[in-house]
């Protein structure tokens, strides 16, 4: 009896395709190898090895989680030839869900007519939605004076007072 006739008989007996038979074969072989290994090794030695592998896996997962938590997404290109990218960038540091970090205060003045979304989000009281609204307003009408920012929904006199020392127009 050759291999092809055995495969054909198994397929007809179980009503499965050749690919399904191959998958079942590998699963059965894997289970048999696992049982053999478990019976050959001393259980204490196997438990120790399992703990070592678990520690490696947990450490790797923790490292990946930390990388994901602190990864930046987007672009911070300052070149004016990439103005369209700057207005649509999403360079925002991801924060841990429960953290209540204080917002980074801008180191200098932010130009309302050229600032990217990320730069605008550094202004006190400006989040992602407000920064996008500022960019949209800038594209449609533009800013003639700093107080024009109060024409943006969500920015009133109080917010303007907090941010006016950080904004400029050039």
Q: Walk along the chain (170 residues) in steps of 10 and give the mean pLDDT of each run.
A: 83 87 91 84 69 82 75 56 56 52 73 86 87 90 87 89 86
Structural domain contains residue 74: no
Its sign, for the CA torsion 86, 170, 160, 149, is negative
**Together in a domain, 104 and 61:** no
**Together in a domain, 87 and 59:** no
Paired tokens of 9: 């008989």
According to the model, what pLDDT value does residue 70 have?
66
Which of these three, 27, 46, 69, is where a domain ends?
69
**Together in a domain, 86 and 49:** no
Q: How far apart are CA 27 and CA 30, in angstroms?
A: 5
According to the model, what pLDDT value does residue 32 have?
93
According to the model, what pLDDT value does residue 27 have?
94
**Together in a domain, 23 and 55:** yes
Paired tokens of 97: 């869900």
Nearest to 86 by CA among 150, 14, 134, 153: 134
Which of these three, 69, 102, 127, is where a domain ends?
69
Q: How far apart are CA 91 and CA 121, in angstroms?
A: 10
According to the model, what pLDDT value does residue 104 have?
67
**Together in a domain, 102 and 163:** yes
Q: Are the beta carbons of 131 and 74 closer than 8 angstroms?
A: no
According to the model, what pLDDT value does residue 79 have?
57
According to the model, what pLDDT value does residue 74 have?
55
Q: Are the beta carbons of 86 and 135 closer than 8 angstroms?
A: no
**Together in a domain, 101 and 156:** yes
Structural domain contains residue 75: no
For 167, phi then psi, to 5°, come to -115, 155
**Together in a domain, 46 and 87:** no
Task: Indicate the number of domains in the chain.
Answer: 2
According to the model, what pLDDT value does residue 26 have?
92
Bridge partners, residue 168, by sequence = 111
Q: Residue 63: which domain range?
A: 3-69
């Amino acid at each position: 009896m050759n291999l092809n006739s055995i495969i054909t008989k198994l397929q007809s007996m179980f009503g499965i395709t050749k690919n399904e038979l191959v998958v079942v074969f590998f699963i059965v072989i894997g289970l048999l190898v696992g049982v053999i290994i478990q019976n050959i090794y001393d259980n204490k030695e196997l438990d120790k090895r399992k703990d070592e592998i678990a520690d490696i896996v947990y450490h790797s997962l923790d490292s990946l989680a930390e990388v994901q938590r602190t990864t930046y997404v987007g672009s911070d290109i300052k070149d004016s030839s990439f103005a369209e990218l700057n207005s649509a960038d999403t360079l925002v540091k991801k924060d841990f869900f429960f953290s209540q970090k204080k917002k980074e205060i801008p180191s200098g003045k932010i130009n309302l007519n050229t600032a990217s979304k990320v730069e605008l989000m550094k202004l006190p009281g400006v989040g992602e939605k407000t920064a996008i609204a500022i960019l949209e307003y800038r594209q449609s009408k533009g800013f003639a004076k700093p107080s024009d920012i109060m024409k943006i929904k969500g920015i009133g006199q109080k917010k303007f007072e907090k941010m006016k020392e950080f904004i400029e127009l050039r």
